[in-house]
Amino acid sequence: MPETLAEAVARRRTFAIISHPDAGKTTLTEKLLLFGGAIQLAGEVKAKKDRIQTRSDWMKIERERGISVVTSVMTFEYDNTVFNLLDTPGHEDFADDTYRTLTAVDAAIMVIDAAKGIEPRTLKLFEVCRLRDIPIITFVNKMDREARDTFEILEEVQEKLALDTVPMTWPIGQGKSFAGTYHLKESAVRYGDSEVGLTKVNGPEVVSEKLPEHERQEWAEMAELAIDGYPVFDRQAFLEGHMTPVYFGSALRNNGVRDLIHALSDFAPAPRAQVADVRTVEATDPKMSAFVFKIQANMDPNHRDRIAFVRVCSGTLTRGMKARLARTGKQMGLTAPQFFFASQRQLADTAYAGDVVGIPNHGALRIGDTLTDGEALVFQGVPNFAPEILRRVRLEDAMKAKKLKEALQQMAEEGVVQLFTPEDGSPAIVGVVGALQLDVLKERLKAEYGLPVSFEMARFSVCRWISAEKNADLEKFISGHRGDIARDLDGDPVFLAQDGFSLNYESERAPEIRMIAIKEYHQAKAA
């Protein structure tokens, strides 16, 4: 019997991994894919070259493994559960890309280095998850190395993230003596991921035989303390983002990853309802809806294609269907939607809510776009962050200004940079969150459009989207600041300020003007 939509939704988990660089995200990703049979492992992840230029952690895997995984999503199946793992770039210069990706997941694994605890980027990404009520499963990695005290790590997570922690497993030793994990609730052990099942034991003292003699007694006492000292795992509190189950292990040594997969299938939510302007859309709603959270160009160097990654929010997306693009109200045929696995792409005949598919297109789709099977609705919440660096683009060949304009427009639609067109007719300004984005822009303008460019400081360093209750107030402000106003890709006005000081000054002088640093895409822009 074919699978119903409800059944298909129930067995899907769409998630991302968040961590500070070096905590082990790449290694863990590789191990998860290995479990899903998505890759055949030939060795361990080796030296990381060019870390700075690594846009995607998966590019690293690709270089090291010689397989093609340069994609934003990887789908794999384990034990009848379909996992969609979304990649988030490792480098903070691409943070806005990461934030957009997090709008498309239902859960996240937070990887912590056992020697380092909560690091700055972990904290930042966690905060984004919290804003979006994304439940978090914690993985304390690198237990095979010298690690901090286990209780101390738990306390730090609890305090820094204001999150109730519940250890689900307890490390058996650490560093050289790390032997596996003890499952606190089940009183069972798993010494490595190659063990499929858990082995029941009669309490922690039995386990400690794996440890050097002088560590045994203390370990058994600590494990008893852990059993009594933490709240019972409450799935509801986890789903609401108040509680995190914590697992220990070593991704490198194949330890603890199997538990993590089980945690995802047992506790992480099936595709969640998504908020649109006119209503909340349940995943099991039979009408198809989806939104674009990422656009990737040049995935295949032989074809100059652009893939829009969409998260299906409800119903089924079928190959060949016609979808309505909310921004324009026009229909577009979805002739070749694709699934991504580690070493191949595959045409997606049917994708269910929770799935992520790539839609090849030639610029019709932009980040934040909503697709439906007819209904006029727009999903909220793919954010646009006020850039922190503003630059003017200087062309080496001034005759190519028109081509540059088109190229910048495309780059902005893909989310590579943001583009602001000043009202006074002066040259366009590009805005980015991190300097590496400018490098990517420069490289791509040269390689793809034959446009060598350089960047010049703009007179401005801060920008804010502006709006007002009364349109007349907005118009007045705009005409009074003509030289400091630009329009973004959607034609929305932004105020450009020289620095934070002048921004504050202007905003105090014009209290009727709202100046915002985060814009949700296409707010109230349903055609």
Query: Which residues here bind ligand G4P, judged by CB under 6 A?
Result: 19, 21-27, 45-48, 57, 90, 141-142, 144-145, 250-252
Q: Which is nearer to ligand G4P, 88 or 410 (CB)?
A: 88
Rounded Cα distance, 208 and 179, in Å: 10
Q: Which is nearer to ligand G4P, 140 or 438 (CB)?
A: 140
Q: Are 99 and 132 in contact (CB under 8 A)?
A: no
* Shortest distance, position 410 Cβ to ligand G4P, whole Å: 30
Q: Which is nearer to ligand G4P, 72 or 289 (CB)?
A: 72
* Shortest distance, position 292 Cβ to ligand G4P, whole Å: 26
Q: Specify the residue for token string 């609401």.
A: 240
Residues annotated as binding site for GTP? Answer: 19-26, 87-91, 141-144
Q: Which is nearer to ligand G4P, 36 or 381 (CB)?
A: 36
Amino acid identity, position 194: S
* Shortest distance, position 91 Cβ to ligand G4P, whole Å: 10
Residue 236 CB neighbour total at 10 angstroms: 8
Q: Which is nearer to ligand G4P, 38 or 45 (CB)?
A: 45
List Cα–Cα distances, 89 to 64, 97, 383, in angstroms. 17, 7, 17
Nearest in space to 356 (alpha carbons), one of 270, 290, 305: 290
Instruction: Please give the distance of CA 151 from its chain centroid, rounded to a whole number.
Output: 29
* Shortest distance, position 17 Cβ to ligand G4P, whole Å: 8
Q: How far apart are the first and last CA of the chain?
A: 40
Angle made by CA atoms 515, 365, 289, in degrees to the nearest 5: 90
Name, in order, each residue with C-beta under 8 angstroms of 31's C-beta and a sequence gap of 6 or more. 193, 251, 254, 257
Q: Which is nearer to ligand G4P, 59 or 357 (CB)?
A: 59
Rounded Cα distance, 390 and 401, in Å: 19
As a 3-state breakdown, the chain gives helix, strand, coil percent values, each rounded to 5, of 30, 30, 40
Report the DSSP pairing between strands 73-78 and 453-457.
Answer: unpaired
Residues annotated as binding site? Answer: 19-26, 87-91, 141-144
List Cα–Cα distances, 52 to 43, 57, 93, 267, 274, in angstroms. 24, 11, 10, 35, 35
Q: Which is nearer to ligand G4P, 257 or 317 (CB)?
A: 257
List Cα–Cα distances, 62 to 26, 95, 125, 440, in angstroms. 11, 21, 24, 19
* Shortest distance, position 79 Cβ to ligand G4P, whole Å: 23
Q: Are 58 and 71 in contact (CB under 8 A)?
A: yes
Q: Which is nearer to ligand G4P, 145 or 400 (CB)?
A: 145
* Shortest distance, position 105 Cβ to ligand G4P, whole Å: 17
- Cα dihedral sign, 21-60-83-277: positive
* Shortest distance, position 340 Cβ to ligand G4P, whole Å: 19
Instruction: Tell me if residue 328 falls in helix, strand or coil.
Output: coil
* Shortest distance, position 250 Cβ to ligand G4P, whole Å: 3
**Eight-state DSSP code of residue 143:** T
Tokens for 187, please give them: 């009183």
